[in-house]
Chains A and B, each alone.
Chain A
Amino acid sequence: MRLQLVALLIMAAAWLGCQEEKPQQVKTGQEGKPLPSFAIQLLDSTSYIHSDDLSANKNLVLFYFKPTCPYCRAQMRDMLNNMEKFKDKELCILTNEDLKGAKDFARYFKLNRYKNVIVGRDTGSVVLKTYRVIAVPLTAYYDNNKQLKTFYAGRMGPGSFLQ
């Protein structure tokens, strides 16, 4: 009886613990429209690039994070573990938080090792305002004309990353 109870407890714990959260694909109404125009402050604090200047003729993935958000960090870790899915894409990793947090995040994940990754600050929170979202992480996929294809709110797991 006791063994059965414990077996039941183990199964219940495993079942409860193994439920995966699915990312939510959001219709923003901006699908097919171009990436908003904004300045990205780079981690040296003095350089800026413009969103219009992001690599042309390449699909773009925009990942928006908060340095102290564990879900953002977990998604970043999963993205780095699946970099083959992003190798032909430009990966733009943005936050609207302070520069120190962004720098610590980039250092922790050693993001300077990747040539197709740009890390910076969206100082005016333009992305959040454009898509009317307040929660992170968010992930937006753009085609090679920089037009929005799909938009995900919440953490994306490795199985959800698009090729």
Chain B
Amino acid sequence: MKTITAGSMPKRNLVSHLLFVRWLKKSTLIEIISILYMSMFLYTAFSKWSDYTLTREQMALMPALEPVAHIVVWLLPATEIVLTLLIFIHQTRKIGLYASTVLMILFTIYIIYMMLFYPHLPCSCGGFISELSWGGHLVFNGAFILLGILAIKMLNKSNAITQ
């Protein structure tokens, strides 16, 4: 039986092998970031729904949200679930990551607004995330935005390689 060693491997095969390994690492990283996003959205969505009354009242304390808190309390977790599904399905992952990153950017703008004008008010993120200070939220969201951008970039590159 003929065995092939790296030294005897044709150059073209070696390049494609290395590209595949690189692609595999990127895909693993994309997978990890996707799981992080999905876990966060699922956790916060379920936390909000599990204590509907508390979330509604937290939202009602937010400027401009008082009259629509009873709608947002359903709409926001539903959006988070939809984004989770978009990320989960391979064909829609890219759009899911784009939408999630945009949502995180919007949340961050809101956090900055709250920090500037209403620092005493609590947030309504749900679960342990609600325990974070506004500064803590900023770091948390910033990290997720960076991860989102990284995943999108890697996804674009890996798509280009496979094409």
- How many A-B pairs have beta carbons closer than 8 Å: the answer is 61
- Measured in the bound complex, the distance between the Cα atoms of B121 and A70 in whole Å is 9
- Measured in the bound complex, the distance between the Cα atoms of B46 and A73 in whole Å is 20
B57:A9 contact, CB within 8 angstroms = no
**A interface SS class:** helix
- Given contacts A17-B43, A17-B47, is CB(A77)–CB(B38) below 8 Å? no
- Measured in the bound complex, the distance between the Cα atoms of B66 and A108 in whole Å is 9
Kindly state whether residue B131 has any CB partner on chain A within 8 Å: no
In this complex, the interface size class of chain B, counting residues with CB under 8 Å from chain A, is 20 to 34
Kindly state whether residue A162 has any CB partner on chain B within 8 Å: no
Contact among A9, A17, A70 for B122, CB-based, below 8 A: A70
Residues of B within 8 A of A16 (CB): 43, 46-47, 127
Contact among A10, A71, A73 for B42, CB-based, below 8 A: A10
Give the interface centre of A6, A12, A20 by most chain B CB atoms within 10 Å: A6
Q: A residues within 8 Å of B by Cβ?
A: 5-6, 9-10, 12-14, 16-20, 68, 70-71, 73-74, 77-78, 108, 155
Q: B residues within 8 Å of A by Cβ?
A: 35, 38-39, 42-43, 45-51, 53-54, 56-58, 60-61, 66, 88, 120-122, 124, 126-127
